[in-house]
Chains A and B, each alone.
Chain A
Amino acid sequence: MSDGHSWHSDVALEEGRPAYLPRGLKRVPRGVDELATEHLVLNMGPQHPSTHGVLHVLIELDGEEVISAEASLGYLHRGIEKLAESRRYHQVATLLDRADYVSGLHTETAFALATEKLAGIEVPWRASWLRSLAMELNRYASHLVWLGTFGMDAGAMAPFLYIMRDREMILDILEEWCGSRMMFNYVRPGGVFADIPAGLDAKIRAWLRVADSYLDDNDALLGGNEIFQARIRGTGLIDAATALAFGMTGGCLRASGVDYDLRRDVPYCAYGELDFEVPLGVNGDNLDRYTVRVGEMRQCLRLIRQLVDGVPEGDFTAKVPKVFRPPAGESYAAVESPRGELGIHIVSDGGLTPYRMRLRSPAYFNLAIVDEALAGGLVADAIVTLGSLDIVLGEIDR
């Protein structure tokens, strides 16, 4: 006889024993709460597709509700900082491409700026301009990856495919320019590796003519969808004070309403000459992070238009000896990467290679908020919130 509770229908329950009690017990012992539930610890990752790489998040659940979350890192650690200590200054860029593999040019430029500060190299204006143009193209490509995967985290498949197709156009431009789709190795201390190829500006302009309408379409398809809006409004709240306390930067910080953008506040390369706005959020929820990043993409197109129109004449690199030794000392330079303040700190002992190189990874600090942002929400929202932080594990684990 089965009462529908036992897994084995041929095992009859003892007379009078409730189905949830162990064999031999007829009633709940005194002092035990028969309705008590247990928390469940869920291992999300490191092979979970929604963690954008090999991130392992330990989530403590009470039913569907997240009680606490903890990120466990290091699955993609390649020792880039240590390897840089045995590379000469112009060889380090090859490693840094692989740190933040979605926007390699920003890491390269941060390293070049730090080296130039250390060695006192004057960069030609054209080189700075070309760096800015390449970085903005790369930023747009990086934001497109984020936009697509963020939609996919919330269950929207079609925008991802359209967005990846749009991104391919930028990668084609960058391949023609830098020689590689993602591992550019383009920015060197003193300038850039090669000038912009003839005819590429026409290709960039041709892309700019359609980029706006593509972005409008993707924004309408994803952000205009009421179901998607309902998913992301009011979830993953991070207030400005918490964001600052955790050292968040970039779009995640601006979504919380803190007006801080290195491109405007600490201008580097050609950004001091350019005219752009910094979109800001109000509440710091997932919707704000979405609107801030999409707003940033529109500003990005505006910047690329200005940059491609005003490429100045001049040399694309300063005269830097292949084997050079910067003086002993240290320097720090930071750029606004698509994820936030990406800083490189170099300590030199006057030798051929850096004595120590440290990478201040913005996504690492943005990810640290994971407990604050996920706790109190639902599991489904946890995935969306994690996606909204725009993490790249290559840069976090280094």
Chain B
Amino acid sequence: MWGLGVLKGFGITIKNMFRPVITVQYPEQRLPIPERARWAVHAVFNEDGTPKCTACLICVKECPDHVLRVESSTRPEGGKHIDTYVYELGACMMCGLCVTACPYDAIEMSHEYELATRDHSDLTRMLLFDVDAASPRRTPREDAAPAPTGTEAADA
């Protein structure tokens, strides 16, 4: 009969009115974020407050959008000193390639997702500033890919 489908559709609409609500009242209520969710990049620190970063620059070479910038110098007594580790949040697409590439777990994809700012300059973040870099002599992570060496690093 013509029109039966329309009536059935009304029935489905009424059924949908009694389905549980899936929306949440956002600023007050928040949905949990999955463990793997990728948001702004954060630096990771040791328990004593020193950074895990060794200024090896693998993350800088790995980033497709060139949003990471590390400037380091050599300390007089040996070892590296990180002058600045700048992160351009506004240009980051949160692909996670830098975190995957880091052999020392020195950066992580955080769960910080409220990234709107009032000022454009807040989108340029200083992850590390004027700190001594960790010594790269400790054993790198087990599953980390070998760091590019020689000609390959020069090409990249």
A binds B: yes
Counting CB contacts under 8 A, is A226 at the interface?
yes
* Bound-state Cα–Cα, A225 to B152, Å: 62
- Expressed in whole angstroms, the minimum distance between the Cβ of B17 and any Cβ of chain A is 10
Determine whether the beta carbon of B15 is less than 8 Å from that of A88. no
A204 at the interface (CB under 8 A from B): no
With CB as the reference atom, state the residue of chain B lying closest to A322.
B145
Residue A180 CB within 8 A of the other chain: yes
Q: How far is the CA of A345 from the CA of B145 in the complex (A)?
A: 27
Q: Does A221 interact with chain B (Cβ within 8 Å)?
A: yes
Residues of chain A within 8 A of B146, CB atoms compared: 321-322
* B30 CB-CB contact with A under 8 Å: no
| Interface presence of B100 (CB below 8 A) | yes
Contacts of A197 in B (CB 8 A): 35-36
- What residue of chain A has the Cβ atom nearest to residue B10's Cβ? A221
B115 interface residue per 8 A CB criterion: no
Residues of chain B within 8 A (CB-CB) of A90 are 97
B100 CB → nearest A CB, Å = 7
Closest A residue by C-beta to B145: A322
CA distance A177 to B3 in the complex (A): 43
Given A175-B37, A176-B34, A220-B9: A321 and B97 within 8 A (CB)?
no
Closest to A83 in B: B64
Tell me whether B79 is interfacial, beta carbon within 8 Å: no
Is B67 part of the binding interface, using a Cβ–Cβ cutoff of 8 Å? Answer: no
> A179 touching B96 by the CB < 8 A rule?
yes
Tell me the chain B residues, 91-113 only, with Cβ under 8 Å from chain A.
93-97, 100-101, 109
Q: Would you call B13 an interface residue if the criterion is a C-beta within 8 Å of the partner chain's C-beta atoms?
A: yes
| Residue from B36, B94, B148 in contact with A183 in the complex, judged by beta carbons closer than 8 Å | B94
Q: Chain A, interface size: which category? A: 35 or more
Q: How large is the interface on B (under 10, 10 to 19, 20 to 34, 35 or more residues)?
A: 20 to 34
Contact A180–B38 (Cβ < 8 Å): yes
Bound: A185/B2 CA distance, A: 48
Binary flags per residue of B70-98, CB closer than 8 Å to A gives 1, else 0:
00000000000000000000000111110
Please tell me if the beta carbons of A179 and B13 are within 8 angstroms of each other in the complex.
no
Q: State A158–B9 Cα separation when bound (angstroms).
A: 10
Q: Distance (Å) between the CB of B24 and the closest chain A CB? A: 12
| B16: Cβ under 8 A from any A Cβ | yes
Query: CB distance B145 to A321 under 8 Å?
Result: yes
Residues of B within 8 A of A165 (CB): 22
Across-interface contacts of B148 in A (CB, < 8 A): 322-323
A224 to B93, CA, bound (A): 42
Which residues 104-149 of B have a CB within 8 angstroms of A? 109, 145-146, 148
CA distance A221 to B10 in the complex (A): 8
* Interface flags, A277-291, vs B, CB<8A=1, else 0: 000000000000000
A45-67 toward B: CB 8 Å interface, digit per residue (1/0)? 00000000000000000000000
| Contact in complex: B8, A224 (CB < 8 Å) | yes
A92 to chain B, nearest CB (A): 8
A193-B100 CB under 8 A given contacts A175-B37, A352-B155:
yes
Residue of B nearest to A193 (CB): B100
In Å, the complex CA distance between A351 and B156 comes to 10
Q: Is A322 in contact with B94, judged by CB distance below 8 angstroms?
A: no
Q: Does A87 contact B (CB under 8 A)?
A: yes
CB atoms of A91 and B97 under 8 A apart = yes
User: In the bound complex, do residue A220 and residue B100 qualify as a contact, i.e. CB atoms below 8 Å apart?
Assistant: no
Residue B27, interface by CB 8 Å: no
Q: Mark A338-362, 1 if CB is under 8 A from B, else 0.
A: 0000000000000110000000000
Q: Which residues on A sit within 8 Å (CB–CB) of B109?
A: 179
Complex-state Cα separation, A351 to B155, whole angstroms = 9
* A91: B residues at CB distance < 8 A: 62, 64, 97
Bound CA–CA A95/B64 (angstroms): 9
| A194 within 8 Å of B (CB atoms) | yes
Q: Does A217 contact B (CB under 8 A)?
A: yes
Candidates B4, B8, B64, B153; contact of A87 at CB < 8 Å:
B64
- Set of chain B residues within 8 Å of A373, measured between Cβ atoms: none
Q: Does B94 lie within 8 Å of A224, measured CB to CB?
A: no
List of A residues within 8 angstroms of B49 by Cβ:
none
Mark out the residues of chain A between 133 and 160 whose CB falls within 8 Å of any chain B CB in the assembled complex: 158
* A207 partner residues in chain B, CB cutoff 8 A: none
Q: Is there a chain B Cβ closer than 8 Å to A393's Cβ?
A: no
A227 within 8 A of B: yes
Identify which of residues 203-258 in chain A touch chain B, using a CB-to-CB cut-off of 8 Å: 217, 220-221, 224-227, 229
* Cross-chain contact B37 with A185 (CB below 8 angstroms): no
The interface centre, meaning the residue of A165, A172, A178, A221 with most chain B CB atoms within 10 A of its CB, is A221
A226-B4, A226-B5, A323-B156 known, 4 other contacts, Cβ within 8 Å:
A162-B16, A176-B36, A179-B36, A217-B12
Q: Could you give 8 example pairs across A and B, Cβ below 8 Å?
A: A94-B97, A168-B22, A180-B94, A220-B5, A226-B5, A226-B6, A321-B146, A352-B155
